[in-house]
């Protein structure tokens, strides 16, 4: 048993178990943590397939952003879903149906390829000129040249998304007292303190 | 430098609106920001006009006569939206300086859509445009209706983008290319998978042009969104999506025309009939205009179904006239104020003739034009469309179109009847907004006087249609 085969079995076993835990654990926070574990093992599977770029993206985007966002939402909303047996039975038929569809698709693919998976090599190296590069280098070398227009336009889309979310959520309230550092620093001794010499029984005009 | 001249107007629009975004943060004079955005949109239109025909980025971005014409139309639509915004922003509670910036980003997305010659560029342009529109629709945060329309538009828009992407993946899978020209060079005519792809992409695009049966979002979004945004929806994105639809079908699937023509014919007939009957019961004028725009898309799709020179030419002419008529109607809707409150009901128009006979006759003529009554501009738009349908033996489309336009004349003429013959209700406020008056008079002038000197618009149609045939 080679090292890659061994690690494949380890990663896929942990993926199956942890994704099972995602949907069965009673505490939503635990679910999210198991989801993160699933993502990490998925990244491991990608590395076995020599797709290290996807592995990095999976960790950076899904674990770094999406899962943390989930965790935030779960903790902020503080909801408790009771997992009783009826609930599971209710979703069982549709889940079973989707599972059957996936399995039959897999079987059809395997029958069509006659269990000859040598074509997979084409999927790993679709373009001959990138044969000797890692796929991060391959993506980088076309992303910033041939696909520069799409790359930049995607940046514009993200900018619009940012503007949009600020426009829709930022509210300036009237009558809120805020600390203005500028005006605090601008205060001078002369403008704030006046020396008076009060006479007795007359008081001071302010 | 060479490659940048291909997207020079887009680069200019992007950089200057980003600059304005930063200026607006410190210099909060919304009128000035709006005016500057207006000027830069006009300048972008000038850049587009003087751009040589070219293509680049692995042939994924093209500037030809067709895209130039459509881009100028889009920019005119955006510019008139900015004029509508300047007069109504305070009252409608959309007094934010990002409004003109978002409009110019949406225009940028539409310009990319119109020029795209590649499935990827098409999708990115579409998303850039839609994302700006989602935000614009829900801009009035204090209004429940506005938020509702934004959410509705967002969810259904995301669904349609999903359908579109699914179709794109089929087309890519069965041809191995994303470029329109390469797809047309390499596809297998009998491939069923490719047909599935075309159907899904057509559904996604039909959603964007709001053709029946993908129109469900239109009335709610039109009614809920702030009126200048509704005007924008009716003007620019429709034109851009029609242009994208046309280029997608014509450049990549020209040879299997018979396959997709059936889809377009179905969409067209369904839109015309549905809009004609559904609009009858409406009482809100923005909602009515939503149904009216669904109907107009039906007529525009007739031109697309023809798949020849006359079809494209009549489609361009119809788009121009549609744009002008909508500018006229929406600028008038924004003038309908009573005691400084906006009125949106059709009944509010009753007896307008007694108080403002001059405006009454202009808006009545606009309604006649929307119904397609000679000698107004709307009649000629429909006339050219039906002529090209008959020349191509699409008799069914022409007959259904004429029947639908007779039915739809009912609700346009009902407005004229309310204006002229109903008991007058309270007087409207003075129509004193100069920017609204300007675009109202220019657009109604074009609508009324089109028949005197039609050749410029006909020549534009001729010029743009040359691209494909």
Q: pLDDT digit string (tens) for A147-202?
A: 899 999 999 999 999 999 999 988 777 777 878 888 888 888 888 887 888 888 87
For range A91-110, the mean pLDDT? 87
Give the residue-averaged pLDDT of A6-13.
Answer: 94
The tens-digit pLDDT sequence of chain B (469 residues) is 577 888 999 999 999 999 999 999 888 889 999 999 999 999 999 999 999 888 888 889 999 999 999 999 999 999 999 999 988 888 888 888 899 999 999 999 999 999 999 999 999 999 999 999 999 999 988 889 999 999 999 999 999 999 999 999 989 888 888 899 988 888 877 778 888 899 999 999 999 999 989 999 999 999 999 999 999 999 999 999 999 999 999 998 888 888 899 999 999 999 999 999 999 989 999 999 999 999 999 999 999 999 989 999 999 999 999 999 999 999 999 988 888 888 889 888 888 888 888 999 999 999 999 999 988 999 999 999 999 999 999 999 999 999 999 999 999 999 999 999 988 888 888 888 888 999 999 999 999 999 999 999 999 999 999 988 8
Q: What is the DSSP letter of B430?
A: P
State which residue of chain B sits closest to A147, comparing Cα positions. Answer: B57
Distance, CA of B68 to CA of A96 (rounded, Å): 53
Closest by CA to B169, choosing from B214, B204, B127, B134, is B204
Contacts of A6 (CB under 8 A, 6+ apart): none
CB atoms within 10 A of CB B263: 19
Look at residue A109 and tell me whether its pLDDT is greater than 80: no
Mean pLDDT computed over A89-117: 82
Mind telling me how many Å the CA of A168 is from chain B's nearest CA?
A: 7
Rounded Cα distance between B314 and B123, Å, is 27
List the single residue in B120, B128, B138 with the smallest CB-CB distance to A156.
Answer: B128
- Opening angle at CA B227, ends B221 and B231, nearest 5: 80
**pLDDT of A122 higher than 70:** no
Start-to-end CA span in chain A (Å) = 92
Of the candidates B98, B108, B127, which has its C-beta nearest A163's C-beta? B98
User: Tell me, what's the pLDDT at A134?
Assistant: 81
A161 contacts on B by Cβ (under 8 Å): 131
Average pLDDT over residues A88-103: 86
Look at residue B186 in the predicted model and tell me its pLDDT: 82
**pLDDT, greater one: B300 or A133:** B300
Distance CA A129, CA B57 (A): 20
**Residues B217-250, buried b or exposed e (16+ Cβ, 10 A)?**
bbbbbbbbbbbbbbbbbbbbbbbbbbbbbbbbbb
Please name the residue of chain A whose CA is at the shortest distance from the CA of residue B4: A149
Chain B positions touching A157 (Cβ under 8 A) are 124, 127-128, 131
Q: What is the pLDDT of residue B339?
A: 84
Q: Is the pLDDT of residue A125 over 60?
A: no
C-alpha dihedral sign at B227, B232, B234, B235:
positive
CB pairs under 8 A between A and B: 56
Residues of chain B in contact with residue A154, where contact means CB-CB under 8 angstroms, are 124
Tell me: pLDDT of A135 over 90.
no
Supply the pLDDT for residue B158: 94
Distance CA A51, CA B410 (A): 63
Which one of B60, B128, B139 has the shortest CB-CB distance to A157? B128
Q: Distance (Å) from the C-alpha of residue B401 to the closest C-alpha of chain A?
A: 39
Tell me what ipTM this predicted complex has: 0.92
What pLDDT was estimated at residue A190?
80
Beta-carbon count within 10 A of A84 CB: 9
pLDDT of residue A117: 61
Q: Are B341 and B408 in contact (CB under 8 A)?
A: no
Please report the pLDDT score of residue A81 as a whole number: 59
B141/chain A closest Cα distance in angstroms: 7
User: From the list B18, B98, B127, which residue is nearest A157 (CB)?
Assistant: B127
How far apart (Å, rounded) are the C-alpha atoms in residues B246 and B110?
Answer: 14
Q: Is the peptide bond before B213 cis (omega within 30 degrees of 0)?
A: yes
Residue A69, pLDDT score: 87
- What's the pLDDT tens digit per position in A25-58? 878 888 889 999 999 999 999 998 888 899 999 9
């Amino acid at each position: 048993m080679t090292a890659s085969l061994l690690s494949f079995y380890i990663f896929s076993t942990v993926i199956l178990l942890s994704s099972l835990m995602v949907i069965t654990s009673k505490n939503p926070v635990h679910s999210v943590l198991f989801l993160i574990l699933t993502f990490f093992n998925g990244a491991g599977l990608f590395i076995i397939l020599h797709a290290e770029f996807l592995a990095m993206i999976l960790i950076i985007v899904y674990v770094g952003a999406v899962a943390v966002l989930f965790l935030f939402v779960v903790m902020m909303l503080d909801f408790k879903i009771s997992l009783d047996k009826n609930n599971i039975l209710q979703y069982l038929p549709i889940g079973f149906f989707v599972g059957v569809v996936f399995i039959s698709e897999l079987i059809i693919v395997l029958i069509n390829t006659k269990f000859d998976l040598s074509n997979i090599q084409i999927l790993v190296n679709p373009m001959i000129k990138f044969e000797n590069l890692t796929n991060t280098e391959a993506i980088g070398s076309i992303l910033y040249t041939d696909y520069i227009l799409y790359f930049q336009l995607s940046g514009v889309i993200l900018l619009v998304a940012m503007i949009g979310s600020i426009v829709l959520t930022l509210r300036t309230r009237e009558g809120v007292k805020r600390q203005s550092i500028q005006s605090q620093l601008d205060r001078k001794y002369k403008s704030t303190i006046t020396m008076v010499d009060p006479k007795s029984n007359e008081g001071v005009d302010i | 430098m060479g490659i940048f001249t291909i997207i020079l107007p887009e680069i200019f629009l992007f950089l200057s609106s980003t600059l304005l975004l930063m200026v607006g943060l410190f210099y909060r004079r919304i009128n000035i920001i709006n005016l500057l955005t207006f000027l830069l949109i006009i300048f972008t239109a000038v850049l587009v006009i003087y751009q040589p025909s070219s293509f680049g980025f692995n042939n994924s971005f093209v500037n030809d006569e067709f895209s130039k014409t459509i881009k100028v139309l889009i920019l005119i639509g955006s510019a008139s939206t900015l004029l509508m915004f300047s007069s109504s922003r305070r009252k409608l509670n959309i007094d934010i300086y990002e409004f003109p910036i978002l409009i110019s980003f949406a225009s940028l997305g539409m310009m990319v859509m119109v020029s795209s010659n590649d499935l990827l560029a098409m999708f990115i342009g579409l998303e850039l445009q839609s994302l700006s529109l989602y935000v614009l629709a829900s801009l009035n945060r204090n209004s429940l209706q506005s938020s509702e329309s934004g959410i509705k538009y967002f969810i259904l828009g995301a669904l349609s983008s999903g359908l579109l992407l699914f179709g794109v993946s089929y087309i890519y899978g069965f041809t191995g290319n994303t470029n329109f020209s390469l797809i047309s060079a390499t596809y297998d005519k009998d491939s069923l998978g490719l047909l599935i792809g075309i159907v899904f992409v057509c559904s996604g695009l039909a959603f964007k042009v709001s053709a029946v049966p993908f129109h469900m979002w239109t009335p709610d979004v039109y009614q809920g969104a702030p009126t200048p945004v509704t005007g924008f929806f009716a003007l620019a994105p429709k034109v851009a999506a029609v242009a994208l639809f046309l280029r997608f079908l014509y450049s990549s699937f020209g040879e299997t025309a018979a396959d997709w023509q059936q889809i377009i014919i179905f969409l067209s007939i369904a839109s015309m009939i549905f809009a004609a009957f559904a609009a009858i019961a409406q009482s809100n004028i923005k909602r009515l205009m939503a149904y009216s725009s669904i109907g107009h898309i039906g007529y525009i799709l007739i031109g697309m179904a023809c798949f020849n020179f006359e079809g494209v030419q009549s489609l361009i002419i119809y788009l121009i006239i549609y744009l002008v008529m909508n500018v006229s109607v929406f600028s008038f809707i924004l003038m309908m104020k009573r005691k400084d409150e906006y009125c949106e009901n059709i009944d509010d128009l009753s007896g307008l003739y007694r108080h403002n006979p001059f405006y009454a006759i202009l808006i009545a003529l606009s309604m006649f034009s929307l119904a397609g009554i000679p000698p107004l501009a709307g009649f000629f738009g429909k006339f050219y469309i039906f002529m090209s349908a008959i020349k191509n033996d699409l008799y069914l489309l022409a007959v259904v179109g004429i029947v639908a336009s007779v039915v739809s004349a009912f609700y346009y003429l009902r407005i004229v009847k309310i204006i002229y013959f109903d008991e007058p209700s309270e007087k409207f406020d003075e129509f004193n907004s100069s920017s609204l008056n300007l675009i109202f008079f220019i657009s109604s002038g074009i609508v009324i006087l089109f028949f005197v000197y039609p050749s410029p618009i006909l020549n534009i149609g001729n010029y743009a249609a040359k691209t494909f045939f």
